[in-house]
Chain A
Amino acid sequence: MTRRVAVTGIGAISAFGPTYAELWAGLAAGKSAIRPLTLVAPGTLRFPNAAEVPDYDPLRYFEEKEAQMLDRFAQFAAVAAREAIQASGIEFSPELGERTAIVLGCSGGGKSTEDDGFHHLYGLKEPRVSPLTIARAMSNAGASRVSLEYGITGPVFTVSTACSSANHSIGQAFRMVRSGEVEVAIAGGSEAPLSMGFLKAWEAMRVVSPDTCRPFSRDRRGLILGEGAAVLVLEPFERALARGAKILGEIAGFGMSSDAHHITQPSALGAARAMRAALMDAELPPESIGYVNAHGTGTLANDITETEAIKSVFGAHAQKLLVSSTKSMHGHALGAAGAIEAAATLGALQCGLIPPTVNFTVADPACDLDVVPNTPRPAQIECAISNSFAFGGLNAVLVFRRSA
């Protein structure tokens, strides 16, 4: 059985605010949500900026007792899932819950929970840590929380492949719906990496920009870390039509590859193989793609390698592609990145408007594609891909189609 897979709900919490509408409005206006970090004391890091969820108050979404059980990343997962499920209009009966999957990506798990516990241990020299540490910090805490809230008893799991976590998750969910293994899937990713210990680790890697994120620009100086979550509701196209659901787009294919090249340096060959695999899975020729939501981290290495990979897959058609990095606006949310970018790509197809690569200053001859610099571009696009390439050399690419 091979079924078409529709997206019938999108939810997101990001640096633009706690809803998908706010995320899309920000991206469609070409605004950057990169601002000074408030979660750690100023002056403690080489980079002062991040894409933080603004004014987040857990008690707007959870009872105090519940909030205490959930790390920030798991809360984000639940907030985005609630919005997506509500938008889809699906009510989960016990029978449907059993035929529903949840696959949520997360790279680091409950980093601030771990950080806080270890501060008590090593900093304050206390002999013990909170008994909630494990339950809060496990990377599947977000997926588990959503399953508890909605009584979803089918396949529920988390994929952790660094920056590709969400694309790998959505890809697995897509295949389960396509094959008929499940009737509905809730898929995406969440991440809350902005705690001191983890930020210090990023600082030491020297890949974070001291000012802002300028993907494909010659003067780019690195990525900007972000946080948040995005969640999609997936179901068979026919099922969505039959129940009169609003179809927000389709997932048409998914491809993945491993570089087997270097633990942190990207490889154009590996990235290209994932894009080709995704197009083949979607049974689409390269010429049918109009938009690429790039991995586009704004690091020196990624942007050159990704440009090279896109050219090798698309040939002469690469010059006709619109390629943008929305990370220039919502930051790099690691295990949530692919999910936020899937939401961005679906918005682009649905609204006929390509979100730009903002903060763009000077063209780089090594990144000579149309990167939609600074200004949103109206364009009716039929099909798009969204790239995620992770440290560890793990690549995952999704293909999206506009709903007719």
Chain B
Amino acid sequence: MSEELISRVTGVIAKTQKIPPETVTIDKSFEELKIDSLDGINILFALEGEFDLDIPDDAARGIRTVREMVEGIEKLLAAKAEAAKAKA
């Protein structure tokens, strides 16, 4: 989990939730950040834009913390890089 990735994900969360970026740290839960289900969907939408990803519903279900979100994005980015390599 690179620092750059963490900061991009937390940055998107902060921007979407309209909260100061320094409040979104890797160990926070969504509950602590007052992120409800609709907020969560909105964050997924913003992350798809930020990373040019398609985040399937099944990958998104069950994510409850900032760490899980970063890990999920990391996994999807790796899969995307793998797919691009296979195509090349």
Q: Do A and B bind each other?
A: yes
A residues neighboring B (CB under 8 Å): 46, 204-206, 210, 221-222, 262-265, 301
Which of B36, B41, B57 meets A210, CB within 8 Å? B57
Interchain CB contact under 8 A, A204 and B37: no
Question: Any chain A CB within 8 A of the CB of B20?
Answer: no
A204-B36 CB under 8 A given contacts A46-B57, A210-B57: no
Given contact pairs A204-B41, A263-B38, enumerate 12 new A-B contacts (beta carbons under 8 Å). Answer: A46-B56, A46-B57, A204-B45, A206-B41, A206-B44, A206-B57, A206-B60, A210-B57, A262-B36, A264-B37, A265-B36, A265-B37
Given contacts A46-B56, A46-B57, A221-B57, contact A205 B41 (CB under 8 A): yes
Which one of A206, A221, A262 has the greatest number of beta carbons of chain B within 10 Å? A206
- In B12-48, which residues have CB < 8 Å from any A CB? 36-38, 41, 44-45
**Residue from the set B38, B44, B45, B57 with the largest chain A CB neighbour count within 10 Å:** B57
Chain A proximity of B55: nearest CB distance (Å): 9
A310 and B82 alpha carbons, distance in the complex (Å): 49
Closest B residue to A204 using CB positions: B45
In the complex the two chains form, is A264's CB within 8 Å of B38's CB? yes
Q: Which residue from chain A places its CB closest to the CB of B56 in the assembled complex?
A: A46
Flag if A301 contacts B37 (CB, 8 Å): yes
Q: How far is the CA of A210 from the CA of B56 in the complex (A)?
A: 10
Q: List, in ascending order, chain B residues with CB within 8 A of A210's CB.
A: 57
Q: Which 8 A-B pairs have the closest CB atoms?
A: A264-B38, A206-B57, A206-B41, A204-B45, A205-B41, A265-B37, A263-B38, A265-B36
- Bound-state CA distance A221–B56 (Å) is 12
Quick one: closest B residue to A263, CB to CB? B38
Question: In the complex, which residues of chain B have a beta carbon less than 8 angstroms from the beta carbon of A262?
Answer: 36, 38
CB contacts (< 8 Å) of B44 on chain A: these are 206
Residues in A whose Cβ lies below 8 Å from that of B41: 204-206
Q: How far is it, in angstroms, between the C-alpha of A34 and the C-alpha of B27 when the chains are bound?
A: 42
